[in-house]
Structure 1
Amino acid sequence: MGVLDHFSDLCNVTSTRKSKRKPMQTVDVKVKMDCDGCERRVRNSVSSMRGVKSVEVIRKQSKVSVTGYVEPNKVLKRIRSTGKRAEIWPYIPYNLVTYPYVAQAYDKKAPSGYVKNVVQALPSPNAPMVKYTTIFSDDNPNACSIM
């Protein structure tokens, strides 16, 4: 078997060119858009990029979601080329944050249901996690004795 494996490795055709395919991802960008013309200009500039599968514009939230094989910095650069101020989406959903009312996290300009993505709002890795499922467990000797 060793000889056959050796010959199969020699005869195996491999390409020397390594293609670096970008991963499929969704890039969310915050862009202030006032009218249909602004929205159309941003949508057309991004949708003409190579690798873009879909573009979703939510003008009420000032949000553009681009899905495809793209890099976030290139999407941001393309949107800025239209003359609009743009930044990577700085918000995360309200229910994913442990401390949503920290001074840096709470933002009046944020869309409803979102807060800013800051380190102070997330739990620290050294904080003890309380597991509520073990409070009334029969295996826990310090569990409630009433049950």
Structure 2
Amino acid sequence: MGIVDVVSEYCSLPRGRRHMKKRKQFQTVEMKVRIDCEGCERKVKKALDDMKGVSSVEVTPKQNKVTVTGYVDPAKVMRRVAYKTGKRVEPWPYVPYDVVAHPYAPGAYDKRAPARYTAAFSDENPNACSVM
């Protein structure tokens, strides 16, 4: 029986190592999902609560932000929300369009034009009409 045990251990080691999965790290995934009402909020929360490895789900409807913590893969979380809710999902650290700096030189273009001066009377032509 000693040889059979050694041979079975030798045969089972590579197979066991091949099928071992990498342990996922505990991480926080933040994403932007458009949330219009309480129903949308419930739908997003329900889609993520059932997911394996999720510890907590926080939904902030005012910012359209969803925060998921747990042993999860960010790509899978985003795909799941998009599939289950039918909503567009973006990663959170996005830069809003209005905040992006424009490439022009700010000193040259940001000055206001001087106010136009109007003259009621002109000394150049004293015979000209003037409107009062």
Task: Establish whether residue 34 from structure 1 lines up as the match of residue 17 from structure 2.
Answer: no
Q: Greater helix share, 1 or 2? A: 2
Segments of structure 1 that go 5 or more residues without pairing to the other structure are 1-14, 92-104, 109-114, 117-147
The residue number in structure 2 matching 1:55 is 57
25, 32, 37: which one pairs with 2:27?
Answer: 25
Q: What is the TM-score of this pair, normalised by structure 1?
A: 0.52
Give deviations 1:6-44, integer Å, cap 9, x for gaps.
Answer: xxxxxxxxx643341100000001000000000000000
Question: In the alignment, residue 88 of structure 2 is paired with which amino acid?
Answer: R
The residue number in structure 1 matching 2:74 is 72
Task: Please state whether the residue corresponding to 2:42 is helix, strand or coil.
Answer: helix
The residue number in structure 1 matching 2:89 is 86
Deviation at 1:106, TM superposition (A): 5.9
* Residues 49, 106 of structure 1: alpha-carbon distance in 2 compared, 3 angstrom cutoff: closer
* Residues 106, 37 of structure 1: alpha-carbon distance in 2 compared, 3 angstrom cutoff: closer
Identical aligned residues as a percent: 54
Task: Please state whether the residue corresponding to 2:80 is helix, strand or coil.
Answer: helix
Query: What is the distance in 1 between the residues matched to 2:31 and 2:96?
Result: 19
Question: In the alignment, residue 37 of structure 1 is paired with which amino acid?
Answer: G
Q: How many residues align?
A: 85
Please list every run of at least 4 consecutive aligned residues from structure 1 whose deviation after the TM superposition is greater than 3 angstroms: 15-19, 105-108
Question: In the alignment, residue 67 of structure 1 is paired with which amino acid?
Answer: T
Question: In the alignment, residue 83 of structure 1 is paired with which amino acid?
Answer: G
Query: What is the distance in 2 between the residues matched to 1:88 and 1:19?
Result: 26
Whose relative contact order is higher, 1 or 2, with alpha carbons under 8 Å and at least 6 apart? 2
Instruction: Please give the residue correspondences for 1:91-102 in structure 2 after superposition, counting only pairs within 5 Å.
Output: 91=94
Question: In the alignment, residue 89 of structure 1 is paired with which amino acid?
Answer: W
